Amino acid sequence: MDDKALPVKIKTDDLGLFYGDFRALKNITMEIYACRITAIIGPSGCGKSSLLRVFNRMNDLLGARTEGLVTLDDFSLYDRETDVSALRKKVGMVFQKPNVFPMSVYENVVLAPKRHGAGRDKRLAEIAEKSLTQVALWDEVKDGLNKPGLSLSPGQQQRLCIARALAVEPEVLLMDESCSALDPESTMKIEELILELAEKYTIIIVTHNMEQALRISDYAAFIMIGEDKAGTIVEYSPTDSMFANPADVRTEDYITGRFG
């Protein structure tokens, strides 16, 4: 299918983000397609993670404010009537370092479904098995579901965090440098998992790893800091096209390692 025929899952129009008087992002306009992997790339401090957090309003916790428009399935994320809790159920997030809770493997996975009303033990057990199977972790932990989640290896912990995000059946998965703290073997497993999950979920990743962006993403957004210190999109295009024939010399300089 031509991607242009796919539904647009998330759209921003002239998005700006402020922390107090500091403008972190400006003029962010982009369309993110459903069931595709979009990579956000750029040098440190350009606002990549801030942009990612816009999509589930995690920046609200930092007192940030936005201007412009951000929509999910054509519904404004920053409308006064938006249910932020329901939004974060639809838009899950996985962080740079595995943030496993100090509880069992099982309780890590079913904690959020419990809070959203899936209270029957049988139903919770089904959710746990399905979510852990999705991240290829079930066979590794099924005989130790009551063991502490923190007893798992770092790679297993990150897959557990992804399973926890999937347990509430989101539509979008945000991943902020989710492989940067992992060894190459664990990174490969997470990348394979991301590619599989993209058949069902819209996935947005932040990565400093240009090879990773090229390996797994369908689209890439290159962000740089402008003269006013705010991050803005320099180029947004299919990843293959960007890496083979960047439209802007700044993009070429970044992806070839001349700066950043």
Please indicate, yes or no, if residue 116 is contained in any of the structural domains. Answer: yes
Residues in Cβ contact with 159 at an 8 Å cutoff, skipping those fewer than 6 apart? 135, 136, 137, 189, 190, 193
Q: Mapping DSSP to helix (H, G, I), strand (E, B) and coil, where does residue 213 land? A: helix
**pLDDT, tens only, 204-223:** 999 999 999 999 999 999 99
Please indicate, yes or no, if residue 260 is contained in any of the structural domains. Answer: no
Which range marks the domain in which residue 24 is found? 3-255
What's at 228, amino acid-wise?
D
**pLDDT, tens only, 34-63:** 999 999 999 999 999 999 999 999 999 999
Please indicate, yes or no, if residue 10 is contained in any of the structural domains. Answer: yes
Q: 76 pLDDT exceeds 70?
A: yes
Please indicate, yes or no, if residue 16 is contained in any of the structural domains. Answer: yes
**pLDDT, tens only, 117-155:** 666 678 899 999 999 999 999 999 999 999 999 999 999
Task: Kindly indicate the confidence band of residue 115, based on its pLDDT and cuts at 50, 70 and 90.
Answer: confident
The owner of tokens 């054509």 is: 74
Domain total for the chain?
1
Whole-prediction pTM = 0.94
Q: 241 pLDDT exceeds 90?
A: yes
Find the CATH number of the domain harbouring 189: 3.40.50.300
Please indicate, yes or no, if residue 129 is contained in any of the structural domains. Answer: yes
Distance CA 176, CA 38 (A): 12
Distance CA 92, CA 89 (A): 6
Please indicate, yes or no, if residue 104 is contained in any of the structural domains. Answer: yes
Please indicate, yes or no, if residue 61 is contained in any of the structural domains. Answer: yes
What's at 203, amino acid-wise?
I
